[in-house]
Chain A
Amino acid sequence: MPTKKRNNHEQPQMGERMPSIIRIQNVAKIYQMGLEEVRALNGIDVEIARNEYVAIMGPSGSGKSTLMNIIGCLDTPTSGLYELNNINVSDLNDNQLARIRNKEIGFVFQTFNLLARSDVLHNVELPLIYGGISSGDRKNLAQEAIERVGLSDRSHHKPNELSGGQRQRVAVARALVTHPSILLADEPTGNLDSKTGEDIMALFDRLHKEGNTIILVTHEADIAAHAHRIVHIRDGKVEKDEKVKNRKIAHAQSVVS
């Protein structure tokens, strides 16, 4: 299944409807805090098509991370419909969700979330281990992913021997290694300086060009400007959904530095 979006190298044509990969309708996520209800998501509707490049913006506490966690099948909605690849996710049990996270989703976190005791290669291999890939294939796929983020010479370094930007690239490689349907990134540049952040964005731009579907959360308009579409969220609802007019293109060559 990972092959289906890799051959999709051309840009989506304007005006043409792409099939929805993500369909979120009237989704709510409610946390019960004692007597009080916190409505992290309050009836939200979003559709995202294959090979879209979407930024989600909004003030702190507006529900961006909650939405990302639901899209990434780390969490399930309290109510509403979420379909991923036309599968209704609310019908799935924990193990099926784990499988979807493994095969369909690549998640990049603000805090990298690498295994500190494992080297780069092993970190990137990990999703393949859980996917039951044989160890030979695993090594090849992992090396390939590491190459794509330009870290081949660091395969045997531990995360604490890498810079922040390099760590985030390892995280991206780990997210990519299973060739997932969508790449999710929750403030991927939040812990990086702006130069390193630009490097990571250049990487995302390239991955998008190669046919990946990318959704990222950010506070910074600069970062959001890399996307084709920005979804603004406030109080758990979509406030505004806009196409980006002046797309910012990062300098791709800085990735390989």
Chain B
Amino acid sequence: MIRLLIGEFREGMVIAFRAIRANKMRSVLTAVGIIIGIVSVTLMGTAIEGLNRAFNRSIAAIGADVLYVQKWPWGGGQDWWTIRNRKDIRLQQSRVLEKQMTLARAISPIMGARRTVKYERKYIESVIVIGTDADFLETVGTDLEFGRFFTAMEADGGRPVCAVGSDIATNLFPSENPIGKTIKVGAFAYRIVGVIVKQGSLLGMESLDNRVYVPLNRFIGQFSSMRGGIQIWVKALNLAEVENAKEEVRGIMRKVRGLSPKQPDDFAINQQEILIQTFNKIGGVIAAVGLFITGLALFVGGIGIMNIMFVSVTERTREIGIRKAIGAPKRTILLQFLIESAALCLVGGLIGIAIAFPLSLIIDQVLPTVMPLSIVFIALVISVFVGVVSGLLPAYRASRLDPVDALRYE
């Protein structure tokens, strides 16, 4: 019985590929829908894979245990005007948090601005300049590649020293040691004391390595007024305490901002989680669009395959008659046409993958990634599945042909 099935299966494969080879053009044209579907599903898979990789590389590196106390919530959702009219978060509030919090490992006030950064003739425009304190590295959990960060004393004294991201270092100092060199941030001179380890970029968002870190006390006055709002970044004691730390921050912030118990928070405590959600949202959109295109293409493609299989059955009525006359049971004929239909789609799937692969290299430019093997496998399984489903009706019709009628067919 097994041997019979293997024999029939092999025969089915031989017939299928012979039929496809005999009608190359027709087969490829018929499989266009399948090809598009497979290109779309593999590219979707690749893009999502890229998203995940980018996510793991940069977001997770920053740490899931950091709370970002800001005026603006990530991911939006609330009324824009209400948020706009909130009072700014002040440096004073950061000091209070530092004094009162028991569940924080490190707290850093943060201000940002964009300036052109210059060294001799070389310059980089629109660099994010961050004013912060000496705890910054501990707060974000990164390391230095060279040198040191500015000290608490330098920070308090508002000394003209800075640490730079690795892109700044390599772009301004392609062949020199940047430590000790003086660069111009906007109109002001700063001496580089350290270079931060490369962190990579995230989903085409601005690179985290294209930044300059200066003492907040110097930032205020040079890049911003004292009245400007800040952010406060709080690193929880550990991951397990993140939610408790969040409650602690909320309590202290509400008190220091003078909110009565009935008033809602007039600040946001942002977390990675929200970024994760945003990520998932983007991934979800890609998946939805991808699945829509894939589904549509496969549906149309499947109907095309069904149509051509009906043609194939009709064309080969006599052959079916011959096979039945010499003893092929219904099951064999059914199997033969199912295999042919599946093989047709499989060829379409392989062509689709061959087309999608170079396209995935383009995605790789924006979103570093490779086409995952699992998606290739899934794509092939989908092709075969579509082939079997759309071949079912034609194959059934073929298997039901009456041998005498089929042999008489011209």
Contacts and interface: CB of A to CB of B under 8 A. Distances in A.
**Does B associate with A?**
yes
Interface stretch (A54-62, A131-139, A223-231): A131-139
A115 interface: yes
A163 to B, nearest CB: 20
B407 A95 contact: no
Contacts of B8: 129-130
Interface string B306-335: 000000000000110111111111111000
B322 A130 contact: no
Interface residues of B, number: 25
Given A129-B7, A132-B3, A102 B407 contact: no
Interface in B1-56: 1, 3-4, 7-8, 11, 18, 22
B403 interface: yes
Given A75-B404, A135-B7, A95 B327 contact: no
Nearest to A103: B327
A138 to B, nearest CB: 8
A126 B140 CA distance: 73
B329 A115 contact: no
Contacts of A102: 326-328
B326 A132 contact: no
Nearest to B403: A74
A98 B330 contact: yes
Contact of A107 (B1, B326, B331): B326
Contacts of B404: 69, 74-75
B20 to A, nearest CB: 12
A132 B1 contact: yes
Contacts of A130: 8, 323, 326-329, 332
Nearest to B333: A98
A21 B11 CA distance: 33
A101 B326 contact: yes
Per DSSP, chain B at the interface is helix
Contacts of B331: 95
A157 interface: no
A19 B405 CA distance: 33
Contacts of A72: 325
A204 interface: no
Contacts of A188: none
A107 B1 CA distance: 25
Contacts of B332: 130
Contacts of B4: 131-132
Contacts of A117: 18, 22
A101 B407 contact: no
Contacts of A115: 319, 322
Contacts of B18: 117
A126 B326 contact: yes
A99 interface: yes
A126 B322 CA distance: 10
Contact of A94 (B11, B319, B329): B329
Nearest to B407: A113
Contacts of A114: 322
A71 to B, nearest CB: 12
A6 to B, nearest CB: 20
A113 B3 CA distance: 27
Contacts of A127: 326-327
A114 B323 CA distance: 10
Contacts of A135: 7
Contacts of A99: 327, 329
Nearest to A175: B326
A94 B4 CA distance: 18
Nearest to A128: B7
A53 interface: no
Contact of B329 (A69, A98, A109, A174): A98
Contacts of B325: 72, 74, 101, 107, 113
A69 B319 CA distance: 17
A117 B20 CA distance: 12
Interface centre among B8, B18, B325 (most CB of A within 10 A): B325
Given A74-B403, A113-B407, A132-B1, A174 B326 contact: yes
Contact of B327 (A75, A98, A109, A113): A98
A132 B7 contact: yes
Interface of A: 69, 72, 74-75, 94-95, 98-99, 101-103, 107, 109, 113-115, 117, 126-127, 129-135, 174, 178
5 contacts: A74-B407, A75-B404, A98-B328, A99-B327, A127-B327
Interface of B: 1, 3-4, 7-8, 11, 18, 22, 318-319, 321-332, 403-404, 407
Q: List 3 tightest A-B contacts by C-beta distance, closest first.
A: A102-B327, A132-B4, A98-B329
Given A130-B327, A132-B1, 7 more contacts: A74-B325, A75-B404, A98-B324, A101-B324, A101-B325, A101-B327, A102-B326
